[in-house]
Amino acid sequence: GDASGSPALPHPSGPAPVRRLSLSSGPTAPRLNGAALTGALTRYVPSSATLPHRPAPRLSSSRQAPMLTVALSASRLPPSCARTLAPPRKATSARLAAPAAPRAAGRPQGVARPSPPAPSARPSQPQATKRPATAHLTAAWATHLRPSKTQRRKLTELQAFNQKYLGIDSTSADPLGGEYEKPTLASSSDVYVALHTLYSADVEPATPSWHAAVPTRSQLRRGPMGRPSRRYSSTQSACFDTCLFNLLTSGYLDYTSFMSLSISCPLIPHLGRMIVQCRDYDFTWLASEDPHWKAQTTIPTSHVRAMLSALFFYKMNAPDVMRFLGGTYTGEYRLDQDVVPRLQSHDIDPFLIAQYIRATTVGCPNHFVAETTRENFLEYWRAGNHPSVTKYVTEVLNTAVKEHRNRYNMPLPVWIARYIPHLGITPQAMIVKGNKARLIFDARKKYHPQSTNINSLTSTHLGTELACLYGTTLRDVLERIYDLRITYPHDDIVVHANDVKSCFRQLKLHPDIMPAFSIMLADFLFLQAALPFGADFSPQNWEICRRIIEDLAEKLFHDTSLRSKHRQYLDRITFAPDLRHHVPAAVPAKPCSQRKGVRDEQGRPLPTPHRLFVDDDIYADRFDVDRMEQAIAASIEAIFILLGVSELDKRQDPISFDKLEDMMVHYLNKVLGLVLDTRRLDIGVPPAFVAETLRLLRPYHAGRKVFRVKDMEAITGKLIFIAGTAPWLKLLMPQLFLSISAAVGENVHSLSRTNKSFRQMLKRHLDPLAPADERSFAQAATARQAHNHHQPHFINATLREELHLIVRVLTSSRSARNLRTPLAHLVRRDPSAKAWSDSCLYAAGGYSFDMEFWWYIEWPEEVRRTTLIYKRRNSDGSLTSINVLEFAGMIINYVASSHYYRSRPDPTDPFPIVRLFGDNSTAESWMTKTCTSSLAGRALGRLLCALMLDNPVGNDIAHVTSEDNDLADRISRFKSNSHSLRGIAPLIQDFPRLRGCKRYHPSSQLISSIMDAILRKKLLDPLAVNREALTTP
């Protein structure tokens, strides 16, 4: 309709006036479709109208075209509708008379002339007393489209953040405002006239001069990064919204059609308005590096306007916008730094070099070809982000500002999302741990089995990416320290680490698939150019750089010029003041065939190796300022070569120098969340972590009756982390594992009775004939609901006793020592000794040639009567399985080994490791983990825990076949008097080395504890029996 407020003209067939229609927004207004509404509005048709797709001839200002009014008579409408649409009778206004336009030759009478574009100039007309129809329509839109309270709360997050933290009042700001002078297009008619002038006129308006310097789409696709490839494609089924830009800029729409579209959705004239306003905006400055990027504390509206202008310029093709930006957005600056020749000169693996070339010149991942539907896009858009984004809105917006400051994303107004082709939306979640907040790209989120998330579209599961090998980083670092102690027994050994800043973000997505990884935050749509933190291929693609940095940094160690080159960074490194070149009380390390020290065959020190755990480069060396500075300089140089040199006038450094400076070069340092002491050669959890665990445990006092699954799982997770450096702690947690398992089962049963959708999902999960994706979705959905269910569960006596025991152990005076593990028990080295054991249903036995002992014990009659010799069924639960007896035999072997090293300590090996061989896999698992299936096994686990506390002897469990365990098997099966060696005589003849071995007699207390565990299932207190069990083995 016309928004100018012009009154209706006389009907061409006669002088009788025709009422101009007025659309009311009241409740009695009739519902009209787009065509009826358009016909009901007044239309001005020039007499020189031509076909809709061709422009009308221009008229001089002195000669105006005769106007024709086409109106719908109120008499043709139903009475109620006519009364509603008719203006008040008292409203009178002057009517402008215009002669009827002559009918074109050859046109049949009664056929309406097609409506041409609206003229750019109209004759002046008197002010009407009644608002035109479009004004009523606008009022109706304002009423019906007013956001709800929830919507207002969500859409004002950015405004509240700007007002509170940045001091900017953006409540009335134009999202594309600023100092840019743009035309005012107040109505849809004005928008149409502007679009018609730009795209449908006979003579196109002159384009700005800067247009000639902008590369074309074909030129961009021949650029150095992100060329089109069959290996990269992300498409979405087309719809009207994604074709609208081409439709508006094609010149095909006539005035009537455009007004009909404008009525259908208010965003359509807004899109046209933005197309006109952004056409002449020079956005080329975006491709230049911003020297003031550090000062950016918000997302400037100028960046949003320029990004939108670039998107319009390249016909809504977002990949070409990324190619145009180049520089930091695509990482092209690395291509000018001769990275590949330098890697080749240092003999880096050619396969890794080829992968690096692919990642930096083509893009990541290695392969991505996918297709989704428009409905899938709309589903993820409507679902929005996780609730944590609203909860931590300040941290979310700070993260968004930081990522745009570093040019990891491209901001656009959020309303443009529906019009960009092949766009994908992924929900975001914010995880806050302490002072660190991380925005998570939830690429696994699915709302129903047919939902298509990003991770389901990748080819990672097909083996297209490198395997991640950083899981052994901690072990490699500990072995490096152990080797250093072998070579330098009295020198301080220091540890330090370098940090790659935003490691995943250093690599970029291929431009053609970049729109599929978009996110929405507050009022912005972000097109992500860098690898997201949450996609399943991000760690695998970073693995390329991780391996190269490790290899390159070690090979750069001999380049002594690096210390002077990076002196500005090395001067910021702090060495602890208490470091020494001679430490007499340092714990020694014993060399072996696997641990030989850090010198080569000529006796020269080897270069300092570097090990990266994701983005943390960890290195250790003896206390020598020159060597440590050389190692740090080599790490800096390797990262600069691979990820780009320091150019702070253009972008941030790839190294987090603040973390490099904050970490002191010291013998006592925190590495990967653990406290490492190179003087004592041990490692443990920080006291603050233990205190946090105790804080979660304290609410479970003696009066506490119930627990919830989610709370208990949080406690269990922390205890398992502590058990990583205190392996005996797992032996105190079997009831914890059982209680959580039983509680989850009760949650499943409760939800099955009360939740219909859960029952349906559970049935789908258990259906073997259901499609794989539906079964997978049902499994994830039911597991999530079962673990998050808030049903309380009763704390039984065993669980309460176990929780209180764990608290006592963690708070005891010996906990600080017991919660640390010697490096000698964690590194790969030759065992200090080996021992074998075996059990049968009436006896057990074992031996060790290294420790020169053998032992034999017959099970008492009470034990034998509970075995399969006398019982064939376990109806009353009293059956003693062979697994329990094998477990007891391995415990006796461990005690005999501890007794040997207590009586014959080795000064060169203060923390020996004994490899215990057994031929029962279940018993071996109980030795390293814990037993949950047998009460007797759990009781024996308590005894083993008591024996491991304060015990310098570690155990390394290994499996041996029954054939290779022949001697232990024969020892366990001969019957003899416990004080006679007549039964061992035949074995000595077959195994002469037994002649030099002595018989080990377990103490009565140990035998009593084992019998109590097997027969009575008695759970002893490990703190109470610890000292006595070790002193009298």
Rounded Cα–Cα distance for residues 851 and 834 (Å): 8
Q: Strands 820-822 and 833-839: what pairing? A: unpaired
Predicted confidence at residue 138, as pLDDT, reads 53
Strand partners, 621: 494
The structure tokens listed for 386 are 């996780």
| DSSP character string of 441-459 | E-TT--SSTT---STTTSS
Predicted confidence at residue 436, as pLDDT, reads 84
Stretches in the chain below the pLDDT threshold 50: 1-131, 134, 172-181, 976-979
Question: Is there a contact between 834 and 848 (Cβ–Cβ < 8 Å)?
Answer: yes
Rounded Cα–Cα distance for residues 210 and 787 (Å): 60
Per DSSP, helices labelled H in 538-686 are 538-555, 561-565, 567-570, 625-643, 657-662
Predicted confidence at residue 175, as pLDDT, reads 45
Query: In degrees, to the nearest 5, what angle opens at C-alpha 853 toward C-alphas 851 and 858?
Result: 145
* Cα distances (Å, whole numbers) of residue 973 to 747, 867, 958, 999: 48, 16, 22, 16
Q: Which of 527, 532, 529 is nearest to 504 (CA)?
A: 532
Classify residue 404 as exposed, middle or buried by CB count within 10 Å of its CB (0-12, 13-18, 19+): buried
Which region holds residue 644: left if phi is over 0, alpha if psi is between -120 and 50, else beta? Answer: left
Rounded Cα–Cα distance for residues 282 and 197 (Å): 20
Residue 854: which H helix or E strand, with range? strand 853-858
Question: Is there a contact between 791 and 746 (Cβ–Cβ < 8 Å)?
Answer: yes
Helix (H, G, I), strand (E, B) or coil at 969: helix
Predicted confidence at residue 907, as pLDDT, reads 92
Rounded Cα–Cα distance for residues 22 and 41 (Å): 8
Rounded Cα–Cα distance for residues 309 and 284 (Å): 10
Which region holds residue 178: left if phi is over 0, alpha if psi is between -120 and 50, else beta? Answer: left
Taking the mean position of all CA atoms in its chain, how far away is CA 374? Answer: 25
Q: Which of 252, 376, 260, 241 is nearest to 316 (CA)?
A: 241
Taking the mean position of all CA atoms in its chain, how far away is CA 47? Answer: 64
Q: Which of 911, 677, 687 is nearest to 816 (CA)?
A: 687
Question: What single-letter DSSP state applies at residue 46?
Answer: E
Task: Please report, for the chain, how many H helices and E strands are present, in that order.
Answer: 39, 24
Helix (H, G, I), strand (E, B) or coil at 926: helix
Predicted confidence at residue 435, as pLDDT, reads 80
Query: What is the rounded end-to-end Cα distance, in angstroms, of the chain?
Result: 99
The structure tokens listed for 168 are 């900017």
The structure tokens listed for 506 are 């250093």
- Whose structure tokens read 């490839």? 229
Per-residue buried b or exposed e for 269-292, using 16+ beta carbons within 10 Å of the residue's own CB: bbbbbbbbbbbbbebbebeeebee
Rounded Cα–Cα distance for residues 180 and 278 (Å): 10
Classify residue 564 as exposed, middle or buried by CB count within 10 Å of its CB (0-12, 13-18, 19+): exposed
Rounded Cα–Cα distance for residues 419 and 422 (Å): 9
